[in-house]
Amino acid sequence: MVNVRRKSLGPSVIDYITPNSIAACSHGVSRLIYDKVPGGAGHARQLSDRVIELVEEAYRVVDGHCGCGEETYCYRCIANYYNQSKQAKLSRGAAKRILGSLLGY
């Protein structure tokens, strides 16, 4: 199991970007995970070696065990302090569908 929980790394440590070249990914969505620490802290490297485990763990976070509706969210699944300004756009169900499709569910 990936030993990185959704709240264990603040936004100042690791981040991602969406590359302009969507053609780089056959699914039409691409993300580049990187360390925000100058010189890197090694977090992105550790995650890159365990992408499948990372996606499986993320799916477990949004699988519905929290009890909230699919088109909402709660602090037991995907809401947290760092995404407060974006919470109106969060959807646990959308995250579950995207992660599930990556895993072939």
Query: Is the Cα torsion angle 25, 31, 37, 42 positive or negative in sign?
Result: negative
Predicted local distance difference test score (pLDDT) of residue 23: 47
- Sign, CA torsion 90/21/10/99: positive
Q: What is the pLDDT of residue 96?
A: 92
**In the predicted model, what is the mean pLDDT of residues 72-98?**
89
Question: What is the pLDDT at residue 103?
Answer: 87
pLDDT band at residue 19 using 50, 70 and 90 as cut-offs: low
The pLDDT tens digits of the residues spanning 31-66 come to 667 777 777 777 778 777 788 888 899 899 999 999
Does residue 24 have a pLDDT over 90?
A: no
Provide the strand spans (E) within the chain: 14-17, 32-35
